[in-house]
Structure 1
Amino acid sequence: MLQEILIKLFKRDLDKLKTEIAAYNTESNIWIVADRIANSAGNLCLHLVGNLNHFIGTVLGNTGYVRQRDLEFSLKDIPKAELIQKIEDTIAMIDQVIDKVTDEQLRSEYPITVFAKGDTTAYFLSHLATHLSYHLGQVNYHRRLLDK
């Protein structure tokens, strides 16, 4: 049951991320940083896609995805259409991987230690959902503030 809830939450927020990226009136504004805003919406999008593909795709689903975290924050000017495709690919991966996670896996320790030894897979997947939501809010704020 938790698997269905997590898939629904991840899809909801990733669909909203697609909507936010698509809503930029000027594509180059996706990459603006200003004042004390450290990350552009484009870099936050890359970070979210990389984070989910690593911690869900690679660790739980053995997808072979290789994360390059530094590039999530240093790459610039990736076209809007490419960002949206990356989000759509991430949605498909989440649907496939989380659907195969068993209740026993959810209760078991997450396969790698990220925060603390003993954190369950259910706990860590819940963390990933809230992490997505947190950065989604930043993307929304970035768009409303800087896409003039």
Structure 2
Amino acid sequence: MVESIKSLFTRDLNKLKTEIESYQSEEIIWKIDKNILNSAGNLTLHLVGNISHFIGAILGETGYVRNRELEFSLKDIPRQELILQIEKTIEVVNSSVEKLSEEDLKKEYPLEPLGYTMTTEYFLIHLIGHLEYHLGQINYHRRLLDI
């Protein structure tokens, strides 16, 4: 299960990197329009912050300190910086998750971010779903606005 989790996060974070690289116009990464309330840039910062906190800081003890408000308020971070943050997040996921045993996955996750107790395995699967949800939003954002 540990290898599967690492593989899925790596796969989808690399897809996120490809999405950000695929924007023809770097400015569009930060565009919002009509009912699109979050830019691809802010969703990227949110994903990096979320994963760096819940996997890196909590499970990997990286010392990362999350500022969730900045994930949605920062603007115009250069594309290359977003890509570097994604690449660093891949490293954090892999180094944090590879420390876990199959027994660790069955243990209770140290926090209750969803409002109830759950195993670490359950929460990691939830985080993969969260990543994929926002990855799909970013894909649509790019295809709708980067024209």
Q: TM-score, normalised by structure 2?
A: 0.98
Match of 1:145 in 2: 144
Match of 2:13 in 1: 14
After the TM superposition, which parts of structure 1 deviate over 3 Å for at least 4 consecutive aligned residues?
none
CA shift, 1:118, in A, is 2.6
CA shift, 1:131, in A, is 0.3
Q: CA RMSD in A?
A: 0.7
Amino acid at match of 1:21: I
Structure 1 distance, partners of 2:44, 2:65, is: 17
Unpaired segments of 5 or more residues in structure 1? Answer: none
| 2:64 is the counterpart of 1:74 | no
CA shift, 1:10, in A, is 0.3
Structure 2 distance, partners of 1:13, 1:114, is: 22
Unpaired segments of 5 or more residues in structure 2? Answer: none
CA shift, 1:114, in A, is 1.3
Structure 2 distance, partners of 1:26, 1:116, is: 39
Match of 1:104 in 2: 103
Structure 2 distance, partners of 1:116, 1:42, is: 28
* 2:111/2:117 contact within 8 Å kept: no
Q: TM-score, normalised by structure 1?
A: 0.98
Bigger Cα displacement from structure 2, 95-104 vs 75-84: 95-104
Match of 2:112 in 1: 113
Question: Helix, strand or coil: the match of 2:90?
Answer: helix
Match of 1:44 in 2: 43
Amino acid at match of 1:127: H
Cα deviation, 1:54-94, whole Å, max 9, x if unaligned, reads 00000001100000000000000000000000000000111
Identical aligned residues as a percent:
58
